[in-house]
Structure 1
Amino acid sequence: MTPRIRRNDYTVLNPPALGASWTPRLRVSVIVPAYGGQDKLDLTLAGLAVQTYPSDLLDVIVVDNGSVPPLRLPEIRPHRTRLIVCPVPGRANARNAGLAAATGDVIHWMDSDIVPEREEVEAHMRWHHLAPYLSVTSYLRFTTAPLPAASDVARADDLAKFFEPAEPHTWIEELVERSQGLTRTSRPFSIHIGGAASFSAKLLERAGPMDPEMILGQDTEMGYRLAQAGGVFIPDPQARAYHLGPSMRMRDSESINRVSHALVTGRIPTYRWLRTHPRRQWKVPALEVVVDAAAGGYDDVRGSVDAVLAGTLTDLEVLLTGPWDAINPEQRTPLTDPRLDLSLLRAHYAHEGRVRLVAEAPDTVAPFRLRLPAGWAPGEDSLARLLALARNETLGLVSVLLDEDSEDVVVARLERTEAFARADMLVAEGEDVDDAVDEIFGTFWVDGETYGFVRRSDAGPFMSVRDAYKARIEAQAEVERLTKEVERLRGQVDRWRGEAARWRKSAVEFRREIGGLRREISALRREQGLKGLARGLARPFTFKRS
């Protein structure tokens, strides 16, 4: 039975130790894109030629990306090595050419300036035999040492004597350390690098090939799509290799970040700190909202969609599903057309950039998808609050109970894409996919009224831009007025506290004075009493006869 990893906690897996007795069965295709650098490519292939993983399960595809002079295969190389040519420039294009030629159960990226230790491929493959949805990344060290001969690399038991001292892949090791081995992060895909990473071919089939539009940042973007396909990411410190020379980021990190950030911002919604604009639309939205246009009339569907578009969460897209192709644009009696409501919806949203009309909701790489029943309207902050709940608790499904009084329970569903993609690979025959999602990510129920959902007929009118701006200005003015009033009252309270303290001090002093006066009066009384007694004793006594 395939193990069910919860979120990215791969520690439930128990791979065999390197060199232990186990029976490999999966074939791996190592794809090596290259442009020039024959001397470094020779070392890469020499390292692959002596891997401890069975050679009959190891294919190597070298992709020459237009080198002049053309690259050649050296004498020292794995016996199942092919050289193909990709004349279209770009690393993504070269890798995609390698993917098209690959037949392995596992795909292993390896750059042509990487020299793997003997156990590197074995370290990767021992994980892939445990689950079909893993991505494994090697630990690289960056060396500037003189290049040894390929024959020396092939004979060496330990490459350190050629390449040390070397620098670690610092940012990856720091990410792994602060996230407890990637088990406590919402973005484990960030570790996916093209230098030395592997993933299941089944996972690739779901994620799709590399994006050729990405001139930089393509590894991270590919990692993001592997995550949305259900992938689990594993950093293996025993999968070791040397990078010949510094990385591009080491040479010029500021320029690299400037370019890669411009490209990944629109494609990776989970990098929210890059999406600083409050109203922008992006290639991949943070949320897709699916509304079935055929499940309600024009007014109900429009009420739901307009409420979604009017909310504070703007990083979203609405998928309006329905039989749009069945609409006859030449209908001469529109008022009697049975598909009139669909025609009205198509006309109403034809020029709205955040609404797409589709026959059915396709597979998505958006991190979340909300399935909203037609006729129900979220409040202004409803979607933002739901998304925050799912993110903060790392939930796979949030079910919103909208109505339980009618004959059928009405529910909206916020689904985490990666949770349902992984559950789809794991669900047993007859098992409810929601149960699998609960096991690997967790599910939660909330009350629709608490989160601001109402029936479309109960929703208030939407403000115009002018009215909304006016209301915002008025609200800001009211906030400023109340803030000043609070400060004034705080000043009064401070004065009253000071006055009360003075009164308390005066009362204490008064009590002390009264006590002193009482003591003085008592002393005087005692003194007067003693004087009276003395006078009485001094008077002579006279006796009268009776």
Structure 2
Amino acid sequence: MTARIVGNDYRSLTPPELGAWTPSLRVSVIIPAYGGQDKLDLVLAGLAAQTYPAGLTEVIVVDNGSDPPLRLPGIRPRDTRLIVCPVPGRAHARNAGLRAAGGDVIHWLDSDVVLDRRAVEAHMRWHHAAPYLAVTGYIRFTPADLPAPEAVAAADDLAELFEPAEPHAWLVDLIERTGGLTDNQARAFSLHVGGATSVNAALLAQAGPMDTDLILGQDTEMGYRLAQAGAVFVPEPLARAFHLGPTMRMRDKAPIDRVSHAFVADRIPSYRWLRSHPNRRWKVPYVEVVVEAGHDHRLGYEEVRATVDAVLAGTVPDVAVTIIGPWDEVRDEGRAPLTNPDLDLVLIRGHYAHESRVRTAGAPSGEAAPYRLRLPAGWVPGEDGLAGLLDLAADGGYGLVSVLLAEGPGREIVTARLERTAAFARAAIVRRDGEDLDDAVEETFGTLWVDGGAYGFALGARPITGRRGAHRARAEAEAEVARLTKEVERLRGQVDRWRDDAGRWRRSAVELRREVGTLRRELTAARRVLRRGLLSSMKRAITRRL
């Protein structure tokens, strides 16, 4: 039976102790590389010394157009292959390695990151506990001179070769201020960094390969899609690694953020502070509203228009609408259009043909929007109704918010459903045979029922008043709240660091006072000795004169 993790609280799992278990899963370590043969030699030497069984490990080095071409050194794992990806870019190289991989788990590894000999085992013990994890090790950055590959392969503790080294400060700060990522599941995906992260291969296949359209930020964007596929993100301090030199981000954080933010804003709706524009449409919307047939199992033009127009006029601009229907079967009637049995469908499709936020399809979109509202045609939310539901779901971490719209004479009920994409993806992974999917969502994220009237839901059209000002105000307010939330998190981390520094300073002050006290006592003793010596000398001198 698949283990069930609530939110991102992986602490419910008990992975085996290092060295005290028998693994069975195969791991594919994928190393994209461009130049840097001397560092690659050390990376492969570190992999050759791993405690995880060599028979369950394959290593794929992807030469991304190096000149001169890379080669495999003598010290390397026995199942190591070198393939070539001539298309420039780490995302292309990783995807090439991914296509060649056959492991149950994919372990991303940079070509300048040397793993401690227990690192792969520390990763893999988690993957044996649950099949939907992304595990990240703790990387330290070292300025040390490069040792010989033989020294790396023989070292029981790499710290002897690479200390002093600095921790990955941003990563450690994120982990510490979120209780190990258990307190803020919405940001847990930020842990997915490609330097030393492992992901279940089936989960990765569900999320899709690296986005090759991105210049930077591919790791974070992949982490977001993994989250929507149901992933749990685990920081593993026992999976230690040493980065040979500083990262590009450590050297050039501001220009890197400038470039990556320009692209990830379109793809990561959770980064609300990057979406301050009140009227823009983004590649991945924050919420997809799925308009479905009403109680009479048909899509009436007036009913659909009432629902769609109300959604578009609401105070959530970051929205896309999908109208579900048999669009491939719609008949066009040129001679007698008014007698066309599909006339309502023709009108719906024609009315929204040039509205970029609305699509007609047989199923919801494949884009990984964080939320999906399923709404029967004819029902319209209040201007702030959708915004209120989204706030409720986000603040409570709910996987499903069911909205009671009406109850019929036969006690049948009409509902709308706000679904969290990540919750339903997780539920599909852990669901038992015959179990209702909503029950699995209840156990992993929680569910809630609310009264539709409290959020302004009503049956029938409302006048559309043109709330452009409200759109702008809400978008700006959301962006400002997101920015301030991020700033609060940063300041909390800074305060924690200052507290740590203050603690160290207090301890240093105490030790200094103790040292000063010791020196004073030693000085007093020395003075006593000196006085005794002077007195003795004076007595001897006086005696000789007498």
TM-score (norm 2): 0.84
Match of 2:376 in 1: 373
Match of 2:464 in 1: 462
Match of 1:38 in 2: 37
Alpha-carbon distance between aligned partners in 1 of 2:394 and 2:133, rounded to the nearest angstrom:
22
Match of 2:2 in 1: 2
Residues 291, 372 of structure 1: 8 Å contact kept: yes
Match of 2:298 in 1: 295
Residues 310, 462 of structure 2: 8 Å contact kept: no
Match of 1:217 in 2: 217
Alpha-carbon distance between aligned partners in 2 of 1:353 and 1:337, rounded to the nearest angstrom:
27
1:447 counterpart letter in structure 2: D
Q: CA deviation at 1:406?
A: 4.0
CA displacement 1:379-408 (0-9 Å, x = unmatched): 100000000000000000000000013432
Match of 2:71 in 1: 72
Q: Structure 1 pair 469/199, CA: closer, same or farther in 2 (3 Å)? A: closer
2:202 counterpart letter in structure 1: K
Alpha-carbon distance between aligned partners in 2 of 1:131 and 1:362, rounded to the nearest angstrom:
28
Match of 1:425 in 2: 429
Q: CA deviation at 1:205?
A: 1.4
1:119 aligns to 2:121 (yes or no): no
CA displacement 1:296-336 (0-9 Å, x = unmatched): 21100111111110100010100111122222346321111
2:58 counterpart letter in structure 1: D
Residues 113, 243 of structure 1: 8 Å contact kept: yes
SS at match of 2:454: coil
Match of 2:25 in 1: 26
SS at match of 1:243: strand
1:158 aligns to 2:157 (yes or no): yes
CA displacement 1:3-58 (0-9 Å, x = unmatched): 100000000111112122x1100000000000000000000000001100000000
CA displacement 1:219-255 (0-9 Å, x = unmatched): 0000000000000000000000000110011101110
SS at match of 2:92: helix
Task: Tell me which of 384, 387, 399 is aligned to 2:387.
Answer: 384
Q: CA deviation at 1:275?
A: 1.1
The alignment-based identity, stated in percent, is 66
Match of 1:508 in 2: none
Match of 1:270 in 2: 270
Match of 1:315 in 2: 318
Unaligned ranges ≥5, structure 2: 474-546
Larger radius of gyration: 1
Match of 1:227 in 2: 227
**Equivalences for 1:33-432 in 2 at 5 Å?**
33-185=32-184, 186-292=186-292, 295-329=298-332, 331-407=334-410, 408-432=412-436
Residues 331, 340 of structure 2: 8 Å contact kept: no
Residues 296, 375 of structure 1: 8 Å contact kept: no
Q: CA deviation at 1:295?
A: 2.9
Alpha-carbon distance between aligned partners in 2 of 1:246 and 1:158, rounded to the nearest angstrom:
21
1:443 aligns to 2:443 (yes or no): no
Q: CA deviation at 1:463?
A: 2.1
Alpha-carbon distance between aligned partners in 2 of 1:463 and 1:158, rounded to the nearest angstrom:
68
CA displacement 1:89-109 (0-9 Å, x = unmatched): 110000000000011000000
Alpha-carbon distance between aligned partners in 1 of 2:466 and 2:435, rounded to the nearest angstrom:
48
Higher deviation after alignment, 233-242 or 406-415: 406-415
2:175 counterpart letter in structure 1: V
**Aligned residues, how many?**
467
Residues 368, 416 of structure 1: 8 Å contact kept: yes
Alpha-carbon distance between aligned partners in 1 of 2:339 and 2:104, rounded to the nearest angstrom:
57
Residues 210, 218 of structure 1: 8 Å contact kept: yes
Alpha-carbon distance between aligned partners in 1 of 2:127 and 2:301, rounded to the nearest angstrom:
50
Residues 332, 340 of structure 2: 8 Å contact kept: no
1:385 counterpart letter in structure 2: G
Q: CA deviation at 1:377?
A: 0.5
Alpha-carbon distance between aligned partners in 2 of 1:151 and 1:225, rounded to the nearest angstrom:
39
Alpha-carbon distance between aligned partners in 1 of 2:336 and 2:377, rounded to the nearest angstrom:
26
CA displacement 1:262-315 (0-9 Å, x = unmatched): 111111111111111122111100000001267321100111111110100010
Residues 399, 424 of structure 2: 8 Å contact kept: yes
Q: Which has the higher contact order (CA 8 A, sep 6+)?
A: 2
1:299 counterpart letter in structure 2: E
CA displacement 1:187-243 (0-9 Å, x = unmatched): 100010000000101111110000001110000000000000000000000000000
SS at match of 2:43: helix
2:6 counterpart letter in structure 1: R
Q: Structure 1 pair 123/464, CA: closer, same or farther in 2 (3 Å)? A: closer
1:461 counterpart letter in structure 2: P
SS at match of 1:366: coil
CA displacement 1:472-500 (0-9 Å, x = unmatched): 99xxxxxxxxxxxxxxxxxxxxxxxxxxx
Residues 64, 85 of structure 2: 8 Å contact kept: yes
CA displacement 1:122-172 (0-9 Å, x = unmatched): 000000000000000010000111100111100111111211101100000
Alpha-carbon distance between aligned partners in 2 of 1:461 and 1:174, rounded to the nearest angstrom:
49
SS at match of 1:277: coil
Q: CA deviation at 1:358?
A: 1.1
Alpha-carbon distance between aligned partners in 2 of 1:448 and 1:380, rounded to the nearest angstrom:
13
Match of 2:532 in 1: none
Displaced runs of 4 or more, over 4 A? none
Residues 34, 64 of structure 2: 8 Å contact kept: yes
Alpha-carbon distance between aligned partners in 2 of 1:319 and 1:469, rounded to the nearest angstrom:
25
Q: Structure 1 pair 68/406, CA: closer, same or farther in 2 (3 Å)? A: farther
SS at match of 1:295: coil
Residues 322, 365 of structure 2: 8 Å contact kept: no
Higher deviation after alignment, 400-409 or 199-208: 400-409
Alpha-carbon distance between aligned partners in 2 of 1:469 and 1:140, rounded to the nearest angstrom:
47
Q: CA deviation at 1:356?
A: 1.1
Residues 299, 345 of structure 2: 8 Å contact kept: no
Alpha-carbon distance between aligned partners in 2 of 1:82 and 1:359, rounded to the nearest angstrom:
44
Alpha-carbon distance between aligned partners in 1 of 2:57 and 2:6, rounded to the nearest angstrom:
31
Residues 204, 226 of structure 1: 8 Å contact kept: yes
Unaligned ranges ≥5, structure 1: 474-546
Alpha-carbon distance between aligned partners in 1 of 2:59 and 2:431, rounded to the nearest angstrom:
34
Alpha-carbon distance between aligned partners in 2 of 1:193 and 1:308, rounded to the nearest angstrom:
37
Residues 331, 337 of structure 1: 8 Å contact kept: no
1:321 counterpart letter in structure 2: I
2:236 counterpart letter in structure 1: D
Alpha-carbon distance between aligned partners in 2 of 1:341 and 1:6, rounded to the nearest angstrom:
44
